[in-house]
């Protein structure tokens, strides 16, 4: 059923883009009702509007907290045009019918980002706005509602194309968006008040982006979130589902380091990573750890991409490169392949909580942001300074590998890794095989494990391969077996007291 817009209530916080809407409504001879700053804005355009206060016979009171909460406002929004009883009340109480409601909400989330002052935050909790939006959306059979400025263009197009007429389908579509806006707003407020003291799991993420497909081509997928807040995309095709998953893993691991570091990610696992005196050497070292797996990977560094390193990177096929900055000549070179995705990272990834869907519910946990609980030397000798640096590095790298995981490190470079294995000894075998594949000597190398050794077999196998320093959380009922082996064979052993499972 079509409805002609004859009257509109407009009350918004954001005025940008509103002028063209107001001018079109005036051109269509729509009666406009407004209040406060919006009324002043409309009148500044030379367009007349009726103050809501003249309808309600009440001024704005309580410092602006109460302006539109009145039966003469909500009656005009909620009245069902097809019900004689409703229309009788409209006539009896002289309530003006409202065919269009343009109302947005106070910037609560923006205020949270700008201040921690509770008084200021509380005053940005909108009361009248959500109430009017919900009322108009509920009565979409008769009323059109626009609850966010991003829908102004759609409304203007509709007004121009249909000369102020709206269809049932159009009004319902606007209503659906309106309920989404209010739901997101309420979740943000509830999250602020409840924090972790709630029995409910709240999550509302806007900015929907359809992806080409999901993890596999036959799966549909969507990303919700403002990725532009983290990156400037300088080149390449749209990020895919798998790209986004690996970019997340890349940002998590690179955020662990301050020294010049380069990492290569494949299927969320780090297959190459190194710390060096500069970005070019960090790249060369990271790539040498597993040049085979690096093909088609996601690359990330915490340093500016220089022309020198860009020339080296340009020799490899990769999906994504992430860096805080690019030299101009380096960027020109890397842009030579149009599909290469180049992301300039604007801010580090800081995620205090992580969650995943499990069965018919959600698992929520703290992000694994710590490296170790303690540094307990339990081997035959204290670790050397060089071993300490390599062990600390290996421990962090291992934290970012899928369990069961083993990382072999030498000179702050990953030279072998085993991940996603069903036994720890298999993870070690895989790591040793990788190191041998690319010709690394394990003399002077160190080993990190994401969880305890249930037996001394890993210590034995590592020692036989030439490794003489191990870092692991401990916690096994048979820790004494591994400790005894290390002590008997002159090996350094650090117990951290902190497991790093990753599934």
User: Active-site residues: which are they?
Assistant: 138, 267
**404 cis-preceded (ω within 30 degrees of 0):** yes
Pairing of strands 31-34, 50-51: parallel
Minimal CA–CA distance to 133: which of 115, 118, 151, 117?
Answer: 151
Number of alpha carbons in the 13 Å side-chain half-sphere of residue 179: 10
Segment (H or E) for 358: strand 353-358
Supply the angle between the helices 479-488 and 457-465 in degrees, to the nearest 10: 30
DSSP label of 229: G
Contact yes or no for 404/423 (Cβ under 8 A)? yes
Rg for the chain (alpha carbons), in Å? 31
DSSP line for 68-102: S-SHHHHHHHH--TT-HHHHHHHHHTTPPP-SEEE
Q: Which two tokens stand for residue 491?
A: 């090996």
Alpha helix stretches (DSSP H) within 231-278: 241-254
Measured between alpha carbons, how far is residue 414 from residues 375, 400, 440 in Å? 21, 12, 10
Q: Which residues contact 476 (CB under 8 A, 6 or more apart)?
A: 452, 453, 454, 482
Measured between alpha carbons, how far is residue 283 from residues 92, 270, 279, 292, 402 in Å? 79, 13, 6, 15, 23
Contact yes or no for 396/407 (Cβ under 8 A)? no
Measured between alpha carbons, how far is residue 234 from residues 77, 253, 326, 397 in Å? 47, 22, 10, 28
**What number of other Cβ atoms are within 10 A of residue 450's Cβ?**
26
Contact yes or no for 257/245 (Cβ under 8 A)? no
Contact yes or no for 449/458 (Cβ under 8 A)? yes
**What number of other Cβ atoms are within 10 A of residue 252's Cβ?**
22
**What number of other Cβ atoms are within 10 A of residue 127's Cβ?**
13
Return d(Cα 238, Cα 221) in angstroms, integer. 13
């Amino acid at each position: 059923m079509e409805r002609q817009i004859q009257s509109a209530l407009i009350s918004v916080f954001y005025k940008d883009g509103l002028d063209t809407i107001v001018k079109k409504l005036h051109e269509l001879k729509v009666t406009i009702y407004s209040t406060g700053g919006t009324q002043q804005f409309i009148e500044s355009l030379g367009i007349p509007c009726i103050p809501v206060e003249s309808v309600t016979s009440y001024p704005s009171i309580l410092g602006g907290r109460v302006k539109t909460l009145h039966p003469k406002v909500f009656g005009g929004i909620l009245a069902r045009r097809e019900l004689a009883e409703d229309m009788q009340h409209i006539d009896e109480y002289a309530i003006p019918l409202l065919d269009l409601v343009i109302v947005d909400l106070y910037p609560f989330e923006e205020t949270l980002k700008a201040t921690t002052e509770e008084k200021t935050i509380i005053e940005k909790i909108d009361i009248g706005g959500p109430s009017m939006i919900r009322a108009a959306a509920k009565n979409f059979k008769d009323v059109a509602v626009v609850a966010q400025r991003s829908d102004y263009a759609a409304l203007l197009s509709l007004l121009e194309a249909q000369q102020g007429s709206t269809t049932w389908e159009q009004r319902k579509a606007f209503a659906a968006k309106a309920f989404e806006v209010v739901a997101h707003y309420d979740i943000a407020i509830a999250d602020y008040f409840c924090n972790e003291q709630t029995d409910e799991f709240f999550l509302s993420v806007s900015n929907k982006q359809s992806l080409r497909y999901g993890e596999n081509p036959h799966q549909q997928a969507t990303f919700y979130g403002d990725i532009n807040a983290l990156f400037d995309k300088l080149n390449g095709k749209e990020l895919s589902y798998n790209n986004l998953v690996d970019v997340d893993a890349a940002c998590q691991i690179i955020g662990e380091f301050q020294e010049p570091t380069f990492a290569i990610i494949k299927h969320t696992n780090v297959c190459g990573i190194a710390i060096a005196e500069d970005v070019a050497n960090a790249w060369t070292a990271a790539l040498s750890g597993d040049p085979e797996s690096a093909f088609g990977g996601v690359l990330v560094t915490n340093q500016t991409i220089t022309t020198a390193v860009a020339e080296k990177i340009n020799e490899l096929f990769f999906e994504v490169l992430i860096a805080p900055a690019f030299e101009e000549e380096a960027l020109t070179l890397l842009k030579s392949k149009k599909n290469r995705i180049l992301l300039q990272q604007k801010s580090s990834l800081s995620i205090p909580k992580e969650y995943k869907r499990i069965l018919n519910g959600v698992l929520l946990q703290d992000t694994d942001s710590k490296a170790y609980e303690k540094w307990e030397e339990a081997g035959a000798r204290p670790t050397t300074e060089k071993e300490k640096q390599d062990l600390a590095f290996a421990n962090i790298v291992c934290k970012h590998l899928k369990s069961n995981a083993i990382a072999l490190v030498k000179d702050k470079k990953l030279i072998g890794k085993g991940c996603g294995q069903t036994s720890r000894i298999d993870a070690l075998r895989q790591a040793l095989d990788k190191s041998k594949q690319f010709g690394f000597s394990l003399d002077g190398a160190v080993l990190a494990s994401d969880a305890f050794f249930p037996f001394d077999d890993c210590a034995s196998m590592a020692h036989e391969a030439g490794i003489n320093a191990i870092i692991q959380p401990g916690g096994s009922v048979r820790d004494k077996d591994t400790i005894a082996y290390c002590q008997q064979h002159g090996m350094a052993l650090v117990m951290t007291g902190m497991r790093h499972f990753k599934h």
